[in-house]
Structure 1
Amino acid sequence: MYFIKPTDPNPVTPAKAVMLALLCTVWVATGLVGHDPWKPEDAYSFGVVYSMLQSGNWLIPTLAGEPFMANPPLYYWTAALTAKLLSPWLALHDGARLASGFYSALTLLFIGLAGRKLYGENRGWAASIILIGCIGMLVRSHEMITDLTLLTGCAMMLYGFAHSQERALRAGIWTGLGCGIGFLSKGFISPLLFVLIASLLPALFRNWRCRNYLLSVGLSTLVALPFLTIWPYLLHQQAPKLFAEWAWSLNIGGWLSFIQKGPDTEAFYYLKSLPWLAWPALPLAVWAVWRERKRLAQRDDLQLPLVAFVVMLVVLSLSTNVKEAYALPMLLPVALLATASLSMLKRGAANALDWFGLMTFALLAILLWWGWAGLLLDNHAKVTSLMKEYQPGFVPVFQNPAVAIAFASTVLWLVLVWRVGRSMRRAVVNWASGITLIWILAMTLWLPWLDSGKSYRGMVASLSAAMPAEANCVARNASLGDAQRAMLHYFGNIITRRDPARFCELRLIQGEKISRPLMDESRYEKIWEGSRKTDNHEQYRLYKEIKK
């Protein structure tokens, strides 16, 4: 790198490194086990994993007996392996969700390595800590979603690009691996990001026009090639129609259709949501770029994350689908730019962010403890009544291990924020520890309450009990979603089918909570009706054909 990195006046000692590593570990591990798959992504992703384990077909992703070609299978492979290996000790869905922890940990590792390379030895931890402090990372990093594998691939690519001016071999290997892993996670989005970032860096900044950079890009292409070709080739050989559906209908064709129609209001979705998802890293990143705007031509440590962010923002905004989880890759360059700002922040700004975080998380922790105690003691407060109405039938129970973990975490947080030394890192460390504390309290004290309303287990059990044993099959209407199909398969071994010829005797209908019948009552008799406890929109009805 041509820019001389400033010396950190507060180096990370071994003791501090252990503390920060423990913080990252707790953040990653909390919430991965102990609850059923939740709608929507958690449920349907596990449905694919469960079908893979049941059928033994690891080449073609399936969901409840039907091909599910939305994404390539790398995440599903990993989740199926962790579920199978840990099945003697954990429920299948808990074992599968550990794959999310694995990829989240890899993401923190590589964004930390990239931060250390770009900004100095003591900035690696800061990059990882800033990333876990981003609000958008908290829930999504603990769900079963393929976006986490893409996130890991993007972190590897950024780490590889950070070395591309000096160490072509290392850069080529990690950038190529990242591109390939991203492709096997979400398809063509990863190679597109690689091509655009690799092209724009030398096009915009002459620091990147060097022999090592060109060698690293060429080597990256060779390393990524097996990932880009082997699975698509095997898929094409075994199921040409499914290959065409994946490659054309769900990828290239969708992009071409979008180009023809042009952007719509959803193209600005990420601009509107990023201030929330990337808080508090985004204002720090903006400050770093603004402060160094006149020296960007010399600051190649800022050029890489800035170009990567702009490329990701444009490409993802112009994609055929926009969703909060799809914004996760943009948090990586934002975290790197925020890391660069730590040496530029004035003490007053750092202290303001520090006190805002402390007050915010202290208040949230008090509310979580108070609300939990109100439910447990049934104090008849208005808030308690509202929470009981939201989860009808939920009976709170004092769980010793969960309460002990929550109490110990609260005490440790108080000690941590008291003991963290005065430095520019204090604000981001306190923010990350505060958001981790809130997550721990939610996943210990409040997990039974949350799982009671989000799980499909009780509903499927009720449906299974009402199903006649002699029925030949169960048809479904078009409204029955992928998450519901997955949970019917997992909890009740119920596989619903498309049935245009009306061959099946049973028909499962998903609709609104309305009183009018949804089937022809002269031909079908309603034998069951139900829903999840807290769902006021989804209502399920099971009909049986009346035999004449």
Structure 2
Amino acid sequence: MSLESSPGWVARLLSRSRAVSAMPSSNEFGGSSADSAAHARPADTRPWVTDAQFVDRLVRIGYVLVVIAYLLIGVLGHDPWKQDETYTFGIIAHMLHTGDWVVPTNAGQPFMEKPPLYDWVAAGLASLFGRWLAVFDAARLASACFTAVTLLFLARSARLFHDTARRNDARVLGTLALFASTFVVLKHVHDLMTDVALLTGATMALYGLMALVRALEHTRVADALATSEPIPSAGQSLDHAPTLAHAFTQPSTRPDDRQPTESLARATRPWVSEAGRAALWLGLGTGIAMMSKGVFVPLVVGLAACALPFVVPACRDRRYAHALLIALGVFMPFATIWPAALYGRSPELFKLWFWDNNIGRFFGFSVAQLGAENDKHFFVVRTLLSSAIPVGPLAVLGVISGGWRRLRHGVIAAPLLFAMVGLTVLGVSATARQVYVLPFVPVLALFASDAIRCLPRRFHIGWDYVCRVIFAAAVTAIWAAWAVMTGSMENHWWLEGLARWLPLDYALQTPITVFVLAVAITVAWGTSMGLASRAGMWRGVLTWSASVAAVWGLVFTLLLPWVDYSKSYRSPFEDLAGAIAPYWTSRDCMASYSLGESEAPMLELFTGIEHRPIGLGEATSCRWLIVQSERVQERPSGDWVPFWGGTRPGDDEQVIRVYRRATRADQRIGSARATDSQ
């Protein structure tokens, strides 16, 4: 293979090796070290900061500010929202109050759906920053931390995928922009939920797998250079390895046996450590995924790692097996310590977590009890074309337009196999939600960025202008809605179209600091529109990602109190707390029937009352009963009288009612209060 026809990284390797081996010494020039010093270049007397360096530093500061804004806007400033945030906060609050870090417990009830890694981190941050922030805001900082790590390892993966060492390469930044502006990512990485940690673990494991394969390909080329053998290409035929077992059992030739040159010895040492580091990241990422949501992603990583030797020649080596053993060793503490502690605490709870929530949700025998069934056809396809916009369609285009032809290259095969295995398993699973696609969005972002080069110039221009028109209207509409809601209540009917989701009787107030931040977001968005026209084939990506981020930022600054009032349980439960306070005694308790896993922790947060679940018709010694049901509901049987009723402002379907055990006086008080609250 010639230098010109070699892949990019092979060419750099050959150039480096030849340059080092051919580097002349001082004697070859006929001079000494003193002569060299005499002919040395004069000292650089230019200012320590040039104009170009100053601009570069400003650009770097701009990148940092954009990332910080992306991580924090949407994370801070609102109560836990239904569905995932509420029960996640219930688990965190239980850990903070009781110190029980083994059994995840939500509002007094064991919640064994997911392992507690995210809850541990969130509880630690809540304990650390809770004195300055609301406890749920401090806990939600865990999502910002995990997302920052996700972006870091996605950037590393993009550099491997696109074969570039530059951190500010347009393809790397484009990958991050596509990922961050994908709908399912933008929504959920700002939520208080364990899937954010799962995304981090999956991205870290993906990077480890890609880096491991690249390190083995480097070592393979170094072996060929050291032995003067032809350099193997990434697409070498499978016929060179008769069987997979034979390839793994063949002893690898050690550098000492080949007596390599000094330059090659120096060149190969970093690759050996690179493979070890890659195995560490692979094991650590898989372990984080395991402790975030169970065995699903570790299973996908394991299947993809086992499939790689069939398509990547560099993986048919004992060194690959050794690296996988290292990764397995790093993974095992995550897979054993907490499960063993849980089993020691309660074998029944361990079975509920491992068998029912992991195995049962996949095969379906526990779906009827646990919910979240997958009863819709083509779930994965529909998700890729809806929630995963824009990376879903672009990734499909990137694969069919040539990505599959480079399958023998390790950095292409590793993410492609990871996504194919994961989406296939997800498609046949009995349980599925759109958020379950989240761990595979980094792979989609890699192939989506690769597809950009395949699109014609007219597409980029069209994408740019369509985004400008649509999002300019969206930005204008947000500012107009803010102006209406901060004005006279008489004009709120102008927004009648939003009344289905947002109550129009709310008086919106905006602090001056939030207003200034919203103005800054709008100005930054307008500036990015000017820069997008000079971004070449990335102009559509820049316009899309900047516009999506601007709309998100304006909603979560200007309209956040209004949205929070609609989605939070604060107003109904604070009303209940005020109503029940004169009648509640220290000996009282509150039984519950059909109270949801999202509503129960909010009841405890805003009223301080921990419910005691009972079945239908089951007797209880409590004087109070709380029931969640449809709007039309008969009074529960027994001596219960209505006391209070309410609902979340943005929910017209589910009503929460509180009953009190009847006495003669209670019948008069309860009937009057129920009439007022309905």
- Please, what TM-score do these two structures have when normalized by structure 1? 0.92
Alpha-carbon distance between aligned partners in 2 of 1:437 and 1:145, rounded to the nearest angstrom: 23
What is the one-letter code of the residue matched to 2:636?
Answer: M
Matched residues in 1 for 2:193 and 2:521: separation? 27
Displacement of 1:13 in angstroms is 6.1
Are 1:545 and 2:661 an aligned pair?
A: yes
Task: Return the offset for 1:47.
Answer: 1.0
Q: Quick one: distance in 2 between partners of 1:208 and 1:49? A: 42
- With 77-86 and 356-365 compared, the bigger mean Cα shift is at 356-365
In structure 1, the partner of 2:210 is: 162
Say which of 539, 544, 547 aligns to 1:434: 547
Q: Which residue of 2 aligns with 1:128?
A: 176
Partner Cα distance (1:359, 1:305) in 2:
35
* Counterpart pick for 2:565 among 447, 452, 464: 452
2-structure distance, mates of 1:302, 1:144: 33
Q: 2:631 matched to which residue of 1?
A: 513
- Per-residue CA deviation, residues 484-517 of structure 1 (Å, 9 max, x unaligned), is 0010111111111123332222110111112x53
User: Is the alpha carbon distance of 1:259 and 1:403 closer, same or farther for their aligned partners in structure 2, counting shifts above 3 Å?
Assistant: closer
2:601 to 462, 479, 486: 486
Q: Confirm or deny: 8 A CA contact 2:313 2:408 kept in the other structure.
A: no
Match of 1:187 in 2: 294
SS at 2:8 equivalent: coil
Cα pair distance change 1:93/1:383, threshold 3 Å: same
Q: 1:69 aligns with which of 112, 115, 131?
A: 112
SS at match of 2:429: coil
Shift in alpha-carbon separation, 1:387–1:399, aligned structure 2, 3 A: farther
SS state of the match for residue 454, structure 2? coil
Match of 1:363 among 450, 473, 477: 473
**Residue aligning to 1:283:** 393
Change (3 A) 1:398 1:295: closer
Q: Which moved more, 1:32-41 or 1:322-331?
A: 322-331
Q: Retained in 1: the 8 A contact 2:178–2:541?
A: yes
Partner residue, 2:75: 32
1:350–1:145 distance in 2 versus 1, CA, 3 Å: same
Which stretch shows the higher mean deviation, 95-104 or 269-278?
269-278
Alignment of 1:119-518 (within 5 A): 119=162, 120-121=164-165, 122=169, 123-165=171-213, 166=215, 167-257=274-364, 265-266=375-376, 268-292=378-402, 295-378=405-488, 380=491, 383-387=494-498, 390-420=502-532, 421-467=534-580, 468-470=583-585, 472-478=588-594, 480-499=595-614, 500-514=618-632, 516-518=633-635
Structure 1 window deviating more from structure 2 (375-384 vs 408-417): it is 375-384
Measured against aligned partners, the alpha-carbon deviations of 1:202-243 in whole angstroms (never above 9, x if no partner) come to: 224435434443332221111101111011111111222211
Contact 1:115 1:339 in 2 (8 A): no
Q: Give percent identity, aligned residues only.
A: 32
Counterpart residue type for residue 512 of structure 1: E
RMSD: 2.5
Indicate conservation of the 8 Å contact 1:108/1:128, yes or no: yes
Matched residues in 2 for 1:138 and 1:37: separation?
17
Q: Which consecutive unaligned segments of at least 5 residues does structure 2 have?
A: 1-5, 12-54, 216-273, 665-678
Aligned equivalents of 1:268, 1:383: Cα separation in 2:
40
Conserved 8 A contact 2:643-2:659:
yes
Are 1:266 and 1:322, in contact at CA under 8 Å, matched by a contact in 2?
no
1:228–1:321 CA distance, 2 compared to 1 (3 A): same
Q: SS of the counterpart of 1:529?
A: strand
Give the direction of change, closer, same or farther, for the CA distance of 1:264–1:43 in structure 2 (3 Å limit): closer
CA contact (8 A) 2:625 2:660 kept: yes
1:90 alignment counterpart? 133
CA deviation profile, 1:341-361 (whole Å, cap 9, x unmatched): 234333222222222222222
SS of 2:130's equivalent?
coil
- Structure with larger RCO (C-alpha < 8 A, sep 6+): 1
Q: Distance in 2 between matches of 1:295 and 1:269?
A: 27
Deviates more, 1:398-407 or 1:464-473: 464-473
Deviation at 1:532, TM superposition (A): 1.6
Asked whether the equivalents of residues 24 and 132 of structure 1 are also in contact (C-alpha less than 8 Å), the reply is: no
CA distance in structure 2 between the partners assigned to 1:368 and 1:5 by the alignment: 48
- Number of the residue aligned with 1:528: 644
More displaced 10-residue stretch of structure 1: 425-434 or 333-342: 425-434
Q: Please state how far the C-alpha of 1:299 moved relative to its aligned partner.
A: 4.1
Is 1:109–1:128's contact at 8 Å kept on the other side of the alignment? Answer: no
Aligned to 2:18: none
Distance across 1 between alignment mates of 2:578 and 2:507: 23
User: What does the per-residue CA deviation read over 1:112-163, in whole Å, with 9 as the maximum and x for residues that have no partner?
Assistant: 1100112123233222221001111111111011011110000001110111
Q: Which amino acid aligns with 2:524?
A: L
* One-letter amino acid matched to 2:358: N
TM-fit CA distance, 1:382:
5.1
AA in 1 matched with 2:626: L
Deviates more, 1:196-205 or 1:443-452: 196-205
Secondary structure of 1:526's counterpart equals strand
Q: Which moved more, 1:366-375 or 1:181-190?
A: 366-375
Q: Say yes or no: does 1:42 pair with 2:85.
A: yes
Equivalent-residue separation in structure 2 for 1:24 and 1:130 (angstroms): 14
Give deviations 1:461-482, integer Å, cap 9, x for gaps.
Answer: 111223221362111112x111
Helix, strand or coil at the partner of 1:397: coil
Asked if the contact 2:301/2:418 (under 8 Å) is kept, the reply is: no
Mapped partners of 2:565, 2:407: distance in 1 = 55
CA deviation map 1:392-446 (0-9, x unaligned): 5311224322221111110111112213433323322222211111111001111
SS across alignment from 1:377: coil
Work out the CA distance in 2 between the residues paired with 1:546 and 1:266: 47
Deviations, residues 7-26 of structure 1 (Å, cap 9, x unaligned) = 9xxxx966545433432322
CA contact (8 A) 1:392 1:534 kept: no
Q: Paired residue for 1:4, among 8, 20, 23?
A: 8
| Structure 1 unmatched ranges of 5 or more | none
Residue 276 to residue 67, structure 1, CA distance change in 2 (3 Å):
same
- Between Structure 1 and Structure 2, whose CA radius of gyration is higher? 2
Secondary structure class of the residue paired with 1:458: helix
Q: Deviations over 1:320-374 (max 9, x none)?
A: 3211211111211100111222343332222222222222221211111112212
In the alignment, the residues of structure 1 paired with residue 367 and residue 74 of structure 2 have an alpha-carbon distance, to the nearest angstrom, of: 43
* Structure 1 residues 17 and 353: alpha-carbon distance in aligned structure 2, compared to 1, 3 A threshold: farther
Counterpart CA distance in 2 for 1:317 and 1:525 is 48
Shift of the 34–362 alpha-carbon distance from structure 1 to 2, 3 Å rule, reads same
Measured after TM superposition, the shift of residue 58 of structure 1 is 1.0
TM-score (norm. length: structure 2): 0.75
Q: Using the alignment, how far apart are the partners of 1:198 and 1:347 within structure 2?
A: 38
Give the counterpart letter for 1:50 in structure 2: A
Question: What is the CA-CA distance between 1:533 and the residue it aligns to?
Answer: 2.1
Q: 1:3 to 1:16 in 2, by over 3 A?
A: farther
Residue pair 2:297, 2:422 contacting (<8 A) in 1 also: no
Cα pair distance change 1:100/1:408, threshold 3 Å: same
Q: Distance in 1 between matches of 2:476 and 2:648?
A: 30
Find the aligned partners of 2:366 and 2:381 in 1 and give their Cα distance. 20
Residue 5 of structure 1: how far off its partner (Å): 7.2
For the 8 Å contact 2:125–2:142, the answer to whether it is kept is yes
Instruction: For 1:35 and 1:162, locate their aligned partners in 2 and report how far apart those are by CA, in whole Å.
Output: 38
8 Å CA contact 2:591–2:613 kept in 1: the answer is yes
